[in-house]
Amino acid sequence: MIDPWGSSSLDYERLVQQFGIKPFKDMVNDLETPHWLMRRGIIFGQRDYGRILKAIREKKDFAVVTGMMPSGKMHIGHKMIVDQLVWYDDHGADIYIPIADMESYSARGVDFETAKELAINEYITNYLALGLNLEKKNIHVYLQSKNPAVEDLAYILGKRVNFNEMKAIYGFNGSTNIAHMYAPLIQVADILHPQLEEFGGPKPTVVPVGVDQDPHIRLTRDISDRFKSQFHFISPSSTYHRFITGLTGGKMSSSKPKTAIFLSDSPEVAKNKIKTAKTGGRESLQEQKELGGVPEDCVIYEMLLYHLIDSDKELTEIYHNCKNGTIMCGECKNSTAEHLLKFFEEFSKKREKAKKIAVNILDK
């Protein structure tokens, strides 16, 4: 079982086979301008992405929905979602960004006031600073608890979902609180509401997420079928990206500060943190010269791959130089730290500007 509120290390290949997620790489060549996260295999899986390809190609309406649970600080891994949203905005999507304050209340005990503050000062600020123009008309950011269309739809959909089903999907039991049991239905409504008549009617919709969210996606797709005759929903598509590795080698997690580079870190702090990261280097320089490093198993390389190097050519060079033992980890770490420093110097300026805009986004 994949538990969206827990954490476990995941074997992506197995997930693809076991849960019927299809590989994304088959889609990459059909896109004229695939995102680097797509080209580089970081987005590894999809369901029904063909519909989205077609909408992009034929310049038809389509929606993107991806939410965030306001429960802590954003780390650099969260940047991946925003990077994708910027790409979808460039490709003509209608974008919906629910802030899951009902979910964080029921599953994490975060009160609504705190959630709203986090939403503005962390999420909305960072999204703006990462280049997503939330002031645009096609981009809709909302708090779940303040969106009657979503709440009404969730209630309506709840009529055809029962406890046994929720138990089987999420492992809920007799002592799970009822608000928590209801939270997934709110998320289902987040994903389906852009297809209601008042939001322009049925349209292909894609939900880009980490694979921990797949239980919600499967539930949404099932429920959309059950209500097909009433709402004419098109079953939503999804994509899945890999998680970024934490500095210590496990998962990067906001609740374990030692593992994470936060988007609100100062440039110096970010730079010093990356220097502590686990590499794919060998025991000794001698050994590394002979055998080469293991970039596949290196947090430094991953940072370059996911975030810091635009050019595929430059990245390939680093990969080969690592593999054949011509660069050593010390040097590689230092140059990555410089890249990161530069990124954060620019980003922290953008964050300052974004703060002023962020306070108005929820009321736009």
Q: Which parts of this chain interact with ligand SF4 (CB under 6 A)?
A: 279-281, 293-295, 298, 300-301, 322, 327, 329, 332-333
- In whole angstroms, how large is the CA radius of gyration of the chain? 21
Of 91-120, binders to ligand TRP (CB under 6 A) are 98, 100, 103
Min dist. Cβ of residue 161 to ligand TRP (A): 16
Residue 180: partners with Cβ closer than 8 Å, 6 or more residues away:
106, 107, 172
Residue 236 in the binding site for ligand TRP (CB under 6 A): no
Min dist. Cβ of residue 298 to ligand SF4 (A): 3
Residue 147 in the binding site for ligand TRP (CB under 6 A): no
Residue 207 in the binding site for ligand TRP (CB under 6 A): yes
Residue 69 in the binding site for ligand TRP (CB under 6 A): yes
Residue 151 in the binding site for ligand TRP (CB under 6 A): no
Could you give the CA distance from residue 257 to residue 66 in angstroms, rounded to a whole number? 25
Min dist. Cβ of residue 283 to ligand SF4 (A): 12
Give which of ligand TRP, ligand SF4, none residue 332 binds (C-beta under 5 to 8 Å, depending on kind): ligand SF4
Amino acid at 349: K
The sign one gets for the Cα dihedral 228, 24, 132, 258 is positive
The DSSP output letter for 68 is B
Binding ligand TRP by CB under 6 A: which of 52, 68, 132, 332? 68
Stretch that binds ligand TRP, among 30-38, 135-143, 206-214, 258-266 (CB under 6 A): 206-214
Could you give the CA distance from residue 364 to residue 360 in angstroms, rounded to a whole number? 6
Could you give the CA distance from residue 33 to residue 210 in angstroms, rounded to a whole number? 22
Q: Dihedral of the CA atoms 362, 90, 305, 241 (nearest 10)? A: 70
Binding mask 46-65 for ligand TRP (x = CB under 6 A): -------------------x
Total number of residues that touch ligand TRP (CB under 6 A): 14
Min dist. Cβ of residue 321 to ligand SF4 (A): 7
Residue 67 in the binding site for ligand TRP (CB under 6 A): yes
| Helix intervals (H) in the chain | 12-19, 25-28, 36-39, 50-57, 79-90, 101-108, 112-118, 125-129, 148-158, 163-170, 178-192, 214-226, 228-231, 267-274, 285-291, 299-303, 312-323, 329-361
Question: Which spans of this chain sit near ligand TRP (rule: CB under 6 A)?
Answer: 65-69, 98, 100, 103, 187, 190-191, 207, 209, 213
